[in-house]
Chain A
């Protein structure tokens, strides 16, 4: 269903992203609580949150600061965790790459797992057309405010949230809610199973390399299954995509 106007696409993007903030709000709260709890000043915590705009990298760096790790370890670990954005960037580039810099740079800064997942689902279903930018902006701005406000709230709540609420479990649950609807055929199912199992087996690897191992294994599995399923049709399907 194509949108009539950019405003409508922006609103729909924001609307689709809103339920996903329920997955990041608990994570944001915990990040804020942890930052203050480990003795960071409020300005340090806010600066870190705005500079990174990446919860997993921030949590890992705070952990490393507590372990008095070397700064170079922190930089390398955080960037390895964020390497997945390279893949997101490549997959959104055909739809966002032609924009002027004053639009491109802010939206690149706001690229998140959730905006990426929502946009690729929409683009995959053929529903965005020329309105990819406003739709993406709607999702990205919603996630940006959801994240920063929840970190801020966490900083004020301090240690008020009891540990036994297990709010950290909301993060994998929100990723699960994004994952399941994206499994549409044997190849995506194979990619997910391989990626998940490999990441579990490789969980002990340092620098969060288990995540990258799982991701690369899953992608390979998806490609292999795809080539089994449609050995002849593949090149044609590809050239059609290229032409459109």
Chain B
């Protein structure tokens, strides 16, 4: 890919992403948000975040299949418990990474 094509590609992605982010913030007086869409928005964070988290946990390597012995699964389960009890981001990260390193270190 030439330098020129590359920058045009980057610029298109940047502009497109900005347009998506701006969309409703800019046009919300013109574009009325339908009531069903507004109700649906309440479920966006839970759905999107779960859809980001679960595949990333169970498939550490995108091209490999499902593996019960994958140490990310117990690490994520414990981290989820910590998040539920403490609501602390930092503790969740510390426990999740700690469990993962421990499991990998002892070769489980």
Q: Which residues of A contact B (CB under 8 A)?
A: 19-20, 22-23, 44, 47-48, 50-54, 57, 61, 65, 68, 71, 74-75, 78-79, 82-94, 96-98, 104-105, 107-109, 111, 113, 116-117, 120-121, 124, 164, 166, 168-183, 187-189, 191-200, 203, 210-211, 213-219, 221-223, 226, 238, 242
Pick the contact of A47: B7, B56, B90 (CB < 8 A).
B7
Q: Is the CB of B21 within 8 A of A111?
A: yes
B69 at interface, CB cutoff 8 A:
no
Question: A23-B89, A48-B10 are known contacts. Are A192 and B20 too (CB-CB below 8 A)?
Answer: no
5 example contacts (A-B, Cβ-Cβ < 8 A) are as follows: A71-B9, A78-B13, A79-B13, A169-B96, A171-B56
B1 A71 Cβ-Cβ under 8 A: yes
Candidates A47, A75, A169, A211; contact of B75 at CB < 8 Å: A169
B21 touches A199 (CB 8 A): no
Separation in Å of the B88 CB from the closest CB of chain A? 7
A88-B44, A200-B54 as given contacts; A180 in contact with B14, CB under 8 Å: no
Residues of B at the A interface (CB closer than 8 Å) are 1, 5-14, 16-18, 20-26, 28-29, 33, 35-37, 39-60, 62, 72, 75-76, 79-80, 83-84, 87-90, 92-93, 96-97, 100-101, 104
